[in-house]
């Protein structure tokens, strides 16, 4: 089984490829990644030899139609798992255009090249295009209720608007051309290899370095957290057993306010660093100017994937968060390698104004 994974050098893609190579010995994976600030090809340097043999990296853009065609003709691709995206909400607020280019135009080009290939391939009934999307397309919940697969789309940020548009194109390619597509809409992931611009790794590293912990607004916004390996298991199930044309929501069932997460991380880190009393990391917390258009609450109803594909998350939130903290503390070489000059500039731009207000 030859699978094209896009965006496999980012957070979820890296975890997915490493996990899939380990548990699916008959899979060979071609990873196409443009290596933006968020992609790191070194994430695969330590693959075991039998896994490294089944892995190929190609540096390139999903919007490059001739490259995609070349990959299809060189490799006997039987399925696509599409992670590549600009993924950070705050970056989409400061510079939306890249999000349209990759998330909308890039996805469209990938779909169209896939359609051309699918029409001419042998065994077209085995082909699958799995599009990885987000619960943010549904907009914001109040303090009650859950997102189901039938919740109307109502995206708030340029990021979620671009993901919503890409989902519509994926569905259009199923309805109009019969391309066997599947969509997953997932809640917030956490775990190893996440770029330290997102809440959990940013807080872990700021606590370690005794920097300010910037909590947006009053810290009461709620996210539904899912350990990344549980997400990867769900994706394998949808890819192998999902019904083309369908959407599957995936959630962790672990709703927490942001401030609860930050407190928990302070406590987990303090235990490991021997800090307490007046030295507690909780003293580093600063409430800063809110994210514009900040969605209040996300919470997923995962009943469909649980019932139809017998998936459920296996990792307990507090345990997996502790393991994530340990992963970062034990991989400071990885952290330092992804914190380029561009990273430092981003942190400066995003937080300077917030801290000053």
- In angstroms, the CA 331 to CA 41 distance is 16
Tokens read off for 24: 């699916």
Q: Does 325 bind ligand NAD (CB under 6 A)?
A: no
Q: Does 87 bind ligand DAU (CB under 6 A)?
A: yes
- In angstroms, the CA 129 to CA 179 distance is 8
Which candidate, 288, 303, 274, places its Cα nearest to that of 202? 288
Q: Does 147 bind ligand NAD (CB under 6 A)?
A: no
Q: CB under 5 to 8 A by kind: which of ligand NAD, ligand DAU, none does 291 bind?
A: ligand DAU
Is residue 24 a contact partner of residue 236, using CB atoms and an 8 Å limit?
yes
Selected from 51, 156, 157, 189, the binder of ligand NAD by CB under 6 A is: 189
SS3 345: helix
Selected from 63, 158, 191, 196, the binder of ligand NAD by CB under 6 A is: 63
Which candidate, 68, 78, 70, 85, places its Cα nearest to that of 12? 85
Site for ligand DAU in 255-294 (CB under 6 A): 258, 291
Selected from 35, 47, 93, 172, the binder of ligand NAD by CB under 6 A is: 35
Which candidate, 334, 335, 211, 327, places its Cα nearest to that of 262? 211
Helix orientation angle between 65-74 and 107-120, rounded to the nearest 10 degrees = 40
CB within 8 A of 262, min separation 6: which ones? 203, 213, 215, 219, 285
Q: Does 182 bind ligand DAU (CB under 6 A)?
A: no
Site for ligand NAD in 225-264 (CB under 6 A): none
Count of residues interacting with ligand NAD (CB under 6 A): 30
Is residue 131 a contact partner of residue 170, using CB atoms and an 8 Å limit?
yes
Closest to ligand NAD by CB, 31 or 281: 31
Q: Does 88 bind ligand DAU (CB under 6 A)?
A: yes
Q: Which residues bind ligand DAU (CB under 6 A)?
A: 87-89, 134-136, 187-188, 198-199, 202, 214-216, 221, 223, 258, 291, 298
Q: Which residues bind ligand NAD (CB under 6 A)?
A: 6-7, 9-13, 33-36, 38-39, 61-63, 83-87, 102, 106, 132, 134, 163, 186, 188-189, 195
């Amino acid at each position: 089984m030859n699978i094209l994974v896009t965006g496999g050098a980012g957070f979820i893609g890296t975890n997915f490829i490493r996990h899939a190579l380990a548990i699916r010995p008959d899979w060979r994976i071609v990873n196409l990644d443009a290596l933006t600030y968020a992609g790191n090809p070194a994430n695969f340097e330590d693959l075991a030899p039998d896994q490294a043999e089944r892995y190929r990296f190609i540096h390139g853009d999903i919007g490059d139609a001739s490259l995609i065609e070349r990959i299809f003709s060189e490799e006997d691709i039987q399925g696509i798992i599409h992670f590549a995206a600009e993924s950070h909400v705050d970056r989409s607020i400061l510079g939306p255009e890249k999000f349209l280019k990759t998330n909308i135009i890039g996805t469209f080009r990938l779909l169209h090249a896939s359609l051309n290939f699918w029409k001419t391939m042998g065994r077209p009934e085995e082909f699958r295009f799995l599009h990885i999307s987000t619960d943010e397309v549904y907009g914001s919940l109040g303090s009650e209720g859950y997102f189901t697969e039938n919740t109307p789309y109502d995206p708030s940020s340029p990021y979620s608007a671009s993901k919503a548009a890409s989902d519509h194109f994926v569905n259009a390619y199923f309805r109009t051309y019969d391309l066997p597509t599947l969509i997953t809409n997932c809640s917030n992931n956490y775990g190893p290899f996440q770029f330290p611009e997102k809440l959990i790794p940013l807080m872990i590293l700021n606590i370690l370095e005794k920097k300010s912990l910037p909590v947006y607004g009053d810290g009461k916004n709620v996210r539904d957290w899912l350990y990344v390996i549980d997400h990867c298991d769900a994706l394998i199930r949808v890819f192998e057993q999902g019904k083309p044309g369908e959407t599957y929501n995936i959630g962790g069932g672990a709703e927490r306010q942001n401030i609860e997460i930050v407190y928990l991380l302070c406590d987990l880190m303090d235990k490991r660093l021997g800090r307490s009393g007046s030295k507690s990391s909780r003293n580093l917390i600063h409430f800063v100017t809110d994210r514009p258009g900040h969605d209040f609450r996300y919470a997923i109803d995962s009943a469909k994937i649980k019932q139809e594909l017998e998936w459920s998350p296996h990792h307990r939130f507090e345990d997996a968060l502790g393991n994530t903290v340990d992963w970062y503390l034990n991989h400071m070489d990885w952290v330092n390698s992804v914190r380029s000059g561009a990273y430092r500039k981003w942190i400066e731009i995003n937080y300077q104004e917030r801290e000053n207000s």
